[in-house]
Structure 1
Amino acid sequence: MQSAQSLRHFILDNLRAGRWRVGDRLPPERSFSDRFGLSRGSVRKVLQDLRELGLIEQTVGSGTFVREGAEAVVQALPAEQVSQSSPAELMEARITLEPAILELVIANATATDFRRMDECCERAERAQSLMEFEHWDGMLHEAIALAAHNSFVAGVFSHMNQVRAQTEWGVLKRRSVTPERRLLYQREHRALVKAIKARDLDQARSAALQHLVGVRRNLFGG
């Protein structure tokens, strides 16, 4: 049910933020199914619920569209609670999604994207506090996601960064990051960016997975 709830959150977040406006077509059911690991039936149930709220309309053969009046309806709904997503769920999602998007990143990243990645690495390395380091750590992963130049991916990672901003995540990170681990994370970030800039997909995926699995181990043990 958590994955279905994540899809609901994602759609509502995009509507609230104005990324999807009246008449815009939503991604197809197959795309939602693949991205969130849901059956087509589960995707249809989420869309049916949102249709009944008056947010979307569906036309056979054409797709799913934002309905007129959706903006007023979504603003009247209670805010979705990002805190429902735990740090463990976030790490599970990151390990699944971050290596998976690298094919798009390597295909679409520009020189400007590479400069932003380098800047994030440099700012993290110069950070005077763990809080500042964590900020630029998050900015690097966001910069990599944005380099895919795919609005769907950007929306998913925006939600993930909201979870990273939670107090519970910050407490875990402060407990787990030693000076030695921070230096290791910095080296791993550089290795990942180097592989992306070389457009070496296998090496980039390997670097991303090694980094994320290590972060999860340090956060939760095991």
Structure 2
Amino acid sequence: MINTFTKPKRLYQEIGLRLYEELSDSRFSVGDRLPPERDIAERLGVSRAVVREALIMLELMGLVEVRKGSGIYLIKQPTDNSLNNELESTLDNDDVGPFEMMQARQLLESHVAEFAATQATKKDIIKMREALELEKQNIEVLDHNHDADKLFHLAIAEATQNSVLVDLVENLWERRESSPMWKQLHCHITDQTYRKKWLIDHEEILLAIQQKKPDAARMAMWRHLENVKDTLLILSEHKDPSFDGYLFSSNPVQI
């Protein structure tokens, strides 16, 4: 198949386009199960996270379906012009893959927390505590609202007393909230018990900032967002029978 589509802006789009073209070449029939993510990742030389993002892209287009306990199946052949037009639109948009977004947050917010530990005032600490209290209440009543999570992370950014850092952190949250990719990832997540683990992470971050320990604050935030990243991969896993537990390679940077 000759590639006449817009050049992909992001890696997950590039992988999604390659998979789309493979499906268009009739290598699979409707109803066929796609190869395991691990096999696709190894063949294309990318991480499992990128393959997951590419499959979410194809899922949003209505080409594949995630079946819990079974795998990912082809439900429509990408042969008509309407799907080609939809792919063109998908490749031309600015949506970020959820795991790429998490990596950006991890790199930025770990250092934001480090700086906040040197600048935070009593007022900032009180604001973080209030956000955690609201988070606890939401978890207790099984409220799926994540506003308290956002408030906590923004309170840390505000504790740096640097408006540019606040804008950067807020922008990442806004992109997450408006992202169809992020929403599609979460539609497969029904187990909410992970939120209790994230609350413990938040408490450790707050303690380090309150004690004015920059290194501890940086590491606590890094571990928290690594936990978020891993949890999202695990909870959104479609339980392919050949899944072997492989998630990520090591962290991209050492801190």
Class of the TM-score when normalised by the shorter of the 2 chains = 0.5 to 0.7
Q: Which has the higher helix share?
A: 1
> TM-score normalized by structure 2?
0.51
Higher relative contact order (CA 8 A, sep 6+): 2
Candidates 142, 147, 154, aligned match of 2:166: 154
Matches within 5 A, 1:57-72: none
1:183 — aligned with what? 196
* Identity %, equivalent residues: 26
**After TM superposition, what 4+ stretches of structure 1 lie above 4 angstroms from structure 2?**
none
The change in CA–CA distance for 1:177 and 1:205 in structure 2 (over 3 A counts) is farther
Is 2:209–2:217's contact at 8 Å kept on the other side of the alignment? yes
Q: Distance in 2 between matches of 1:173 and 1:201?
A: 32
The alpha carbon displacement at 1:88 in A equals: 1.9
Cα-Cα RMSD: 2.3
Is 2:114–2:217's contact at 8 Å kept on the other side of the alignment? no
The change in CA–CA distance for 1:95 and 1:186 in structure 2 (over 3 A counts) is same
Matches within 5 A, 1:158-177: 158-166=170-178, 167-173=180-186, 175-176=188-189
Residue type of the alignment partner of 1:109: A
1:64 — aligned with what? none
Q: Distance in 2 between matches of 1:102 and 1:152?
A: 14
Q: Distance in 2 between matches of 1:206 and 1:190?
A: 13
Candidates 155, 170, 186, aligned match of 1:143: 155
Residue type of the alignment partner of 1:152: V
> TM-score normalized by structure 1?
0.58
Unaligned runs of 5+ in 1: 3-80
Cα offsets for 1:104-134 (capped at 9, x unmatched): 21121111110110011000110134532x1
- Higher Rg: 2
**Residue 99 of structure 2 corresponds to residue 88 of structure 1:** yes
Matches within 5 A, 1:52-131: 83-127=94-138, 128-131=141-144
Cα offsets for 1:57-116 (capped at 9, x unmatched): xxxxxxxxxxxxxxxxxxxxxxxx995223122101011111112232112111111011
Q: Secondary structure at the match of 1:101?
A: helix
